[in-house]
Amino acid sequence: MSEEQIKNLEEQFEARILRDDKIEPKDWMPEKYRQTHIRQISQHAHSEIVGMLPEGNWITRAPSLRRKVALLAKVQDEGGHGLYLYSAAETLGISRDEMFDQLHTGKAKYSSIFNYPALTWADMGAIGWLVDGAAIINQVALCGTSYGPYARAMVRICKEESFHQRQGYEIMLKLANGAPEQKDMAQDALNRFWWPSLMMFGPKDDESPHTAQSMKWKLKRKTNDDLRQQFIDQTVPQADILGLTIPDPDLKWNEAKQGYDFGEIDWDEFWQVVKGHGPCNKERMKARVNAWENGAWVRDAAMAYADKKSELKNKQAV
C-alpha cells in the first residue's frame, strides 16, 4: 500500500472515531490501535481469571448455603467475563495460547488488586463492594469504547458486576450490623482493601503513558483520575451507611469541587505490586500456571474430539 493510501485510510479512521462509529474486527485500523487494544483487553481478561483466585479460595468456607451459592455464581461469572474478553481480543489477531503465554511469563499484566490476600470472610464483602464497585465504574465507561467487540462484552459484564457489587455490600451490611467482632472484621477488611482499590484505576493521569492516546481513540472514555474520583465520591456515603470509617485521615468533602479530597496514594507500593513484588504475585501465577499445565489433557481431548468430528463431516461430504 502506498503512503498516500495509508494516509487516506488513517484520515477515514480518525473521522469514524470522531463520529463515534464502532470499529469492527474486519475494518481497517492503525497497527498501534490494534496493539493497544490487544494489550488492554487481554490484561483485562487476565484480571478476571486471576481475580477468581482470592474468592475461589473461600467457596468451601462460606458461612451458609446461601452465601456459598452466591459466591460460587460470582466466581463463575468472573471466569465467563475472562472468556468474553479473550474472545474479543482474539478478533484482533492474537491467539488465546499467545495471551496465556504472555500472562504466564509475566509479559502481560493483570490488575494489582488480586495480589493482595483474602484473609477473612469479611474480605469477600470488601472485594464485592470495593473491587467490583471500582470495576463497574471503570467498565460502565468502557461500554462506550470505540472497538465494537470490547464495548459489547462490557455491556453484559456490567450487568453481572452489579450483582457482584451488591452481594459484597450485603455481606458488609450484615457484618457491620452484627456482633462487635463482626463489625471489627468488616472494618479491618475495609482498612486493607481501600487503598489497593484506589490503585485499580492506574497511575495518575500525568504519569500514565497510555491515557492521552487511548482517550483520543476513545478506547478510554474517562481518565484514570476522573474514574478514581467518581469511585471515591460514590463509595464514601456507602461506608457511612455501614457505619465504617474510610482509612484516610485526609478524606474531606470539598464543596467547591463537589467531590472528596483524599490522601496521597502510596505509588511505590503500587509499582512494586505491578512489577511482581506484591504479597501474592508468586502464589497467583503459580496457581494459574498449574491450572494451565494440569488442564493440558482436557485441551488435548477437546482438540482430538474436534478433529474426529471434522474428519467425519468431511467423509460424509464426499
Query: Which residues between 264 and 303 bind ligand FAQ (CB under 6 A)?
Result: 274
Helix 296-317 and helix 281-294, axial crossing angle in degrees, nearest 10: 40
Asked whether position 210 contacts ligand FAQ by CB under 6 A, the answer is yes
> Cα–Cα distance between 99 and 108 in angstroms, integer?
8
| Orientation of helix 65-90 relative to helix 148-176, angle to 10° | 160
Q: How many CB atoms lie within 10 A of CB 41?
A: 28
> Under the criterion CB under 6 A, does residue 168 sit at the interface with ligand FAQ?
no
- For the record, the C-alpha cell of 285 comes out as 501465577
92 is an interface residue for ligand FAQ by CB under 6 A: no
> First CA to last CA across the chain, in angstroms?
41
Nearer to ligand FAQ, 180 or 209 (CB): 209
Closest to 43 measured CA to CA, from 186, 179, 214, 190 = 214
Which residues ranging from 100 to 119 are in contact with ligand FAQ (CB under 6 A)?
A: 109, 111-112
Binding mask 8-47 for ligand FAQ (x = CB under 6 A): -------------------------------xx--xx--x
Q: Which residue is nearest to ligand FAQ (CB)?
A: 51
Of 29, 42, 48, 281, which one interacts with ligand FAQ (CB under 6 A)?
48
How many residues make contact with ligand FAQ (CB under 6 A)? 28
Distance CA 272, CA 279 (A): 10
Q: Which three cell numbers stand for residue 110?
A: 493483570
Which DSSP helix (H) or strand (E) runs through 37? helix 31-50
- We find the least distance from the C-beta atom of residue 2 to ligand FAQ, in angstroms, to be 32
Query: Interface with ligand FAQ by CB under 6 A: which residues?
Result: 39-40, 43-44, 47-48, 51, 78, 109, 111-112, 127, 131-132, 135, 138, 199-203, 208-211, 214, 224, 274
